[in-house]
Amino acid sequence: MRKWKIALGTAVALGAISVASVHLLDMGNLRLSASTAGAAPAPAAFVMPVPVANVVKKTIPIYLDYAARIEPIRSITLQARVPGYLQEQTAQDGADVRQGDILYKISPDDFQAALDQAKAQVQRDTATLDYARSNLGRGTELAKSGYLDKDSFDQRTSTLREAQASLALNQAAVRTAELNLSYAEIHAPFTGRLGRNQASVGTLVSVAGTVLNTLVQLDPIYVTFNPSETDLAEIEQARAAGPVDVEVLLPGETESTQKGELTFIDNTVDHSTGTITARATIGNAKFMLMPGQYVRVRLHIRQQPDALMVPQTALGSSQLGKYLYVVGKGNTVDQRLVSLGPTSGDLVAILSGVAEGDQVITGNLQKIGPGMPISPLPQKPAT
């Protein structure tokens, strides 16, 4: 009886504990439900905003680029044609001179004296010739009437011819003296720029022996470069279609300010280098190009229509090559491997990998990857 009472009490106690546990569990669930009902919803995943640009189709110029050097069309050494003392340098070192300007003067006194002497001899020979002519005229009349023998008549004829020859000789001496006097002034044979003077005033200069200065032509000027033989056919094809325009870019320039025309291609390819010498003539009115200077030249050989162009800033590089990020379906990132063509300003031609109307991503390229959701930003209108 006692055991039965103990068992019954134990059962009652366990039931009470179970009821209490269920009550506490229900209270906990009620509190959890109340807490969950009052919380805010989870935030949406972040979507990267990216600038985009349309793939556009346009006609672009095709250029061939080369390293080049500047050469003068004419460059001469100034030397005297007559000997004498250098009297004056009329143009300063480095001066820009025009054709015909006086650059140097040699003392003219000796040449003026020689000219005066030659002129005096011409006057003497003129008088001798006049007398010989008159004497021959009288002899002709006397010979007709028989009062002058033939030998005397022949002497008078010979005297006239000698006088004529002497006059011609001294007239030539006058012209020589005039030339020598004119050579005492050294003139610029063409428009150009002087170099540094190499003979001081008072120097005794000799004929073609003393260097006075140098003179180079600066406008127009030559730009010489060496295309490879593989480019030669394309260049010749462009020449056959008309004049080939050439642009010159100075060091540090991205846009050309000097332009000209291809005017010369040599007749032999250098077998050791596989190149050929070519030359363009460039207007240089502002003297921005100087002989010996190294520049770059661009030959405009043709126009390429319907080129697919994208901003160069949109390009990325990987071990597989160049690629573009394109806005794909559902505004996700689509990676396209591309092959590149020529550039035009800030744009580059794409030969394969994209189509007209595709939107390429031009910014935040380091923060996105293939398949990521993105938010394309509105494109700004071109200004």
State the CATH number of the domain containing residue 155. Answer: 1.10.287
For residues 226 and 272, membership in a common domain is answered with yes
For residue 249, the domain's CATH number is 2.40.30.170
Q: 175: pLDDT confidence band, cut at 50, 70 and 90? A: very high
For residues 124 and 174, membership in a common domain is answered with yes
**What is the total count of domains within the chain?**
4
For residues 300 and 231, membership in a common domain is answered with yes
For the cut 60, the answer to whether the pLDDT of residue 31 exceeds it is no
Identify the pLDDT of residue 344.
84
For residue 99, the domain's CATH number is 2.40.50.100
For residues 230 and 290, membership in a common domain is answered with yes
Do the beta carbons of residue 350 and residue 338 sit within 8 Å? yes
Last residue of a domain, one of 305, 325, 351: 305
Minimum mean pLDDT among 127-136, 140-149, 230-239, 240-249: which range? 140-149
Whether 14 is covered by a domain: the verdict is: no
359: containing domain: 49-59+306-378
User: Within 38-149, where are the H helices?
Assistant: 109-145
For residues 246 and 339, membership in a common domain is answered with no
What does pTM read for this prediction?
Answer: 0.70
Whether 361 is covered by a domain: the verdict is: yes
Whether 4 is covered by a domain: the verdict is: no
Identify the pLDDT of residue 184.
95
Do the beta carbons of residue 137 and residue 153 sit within 8 Å? no
For residues 250 and 141, membership in a common domain is answered with no
Q: 37: pLDDT confidence band, cut at 50, 70 and 90? A: very low
In tens, the pLDDT along 265-278 reads 999 999 999 999 99
For residues 226 and 294, membership in a common domain is answered with yes
Last residue of a domain, one of 272, 288, 305: 305
Mean pLDDT of 212-230: 96
- Which of 54, 56, 47, 55 shows the shortest CA–CA distance to 364? 47
| Burial classification of residue 346, based on how many CB atoms lie within 10 Å of its CB (0-12 exposed, 13-18 middle, 19 or more buried) | exposed
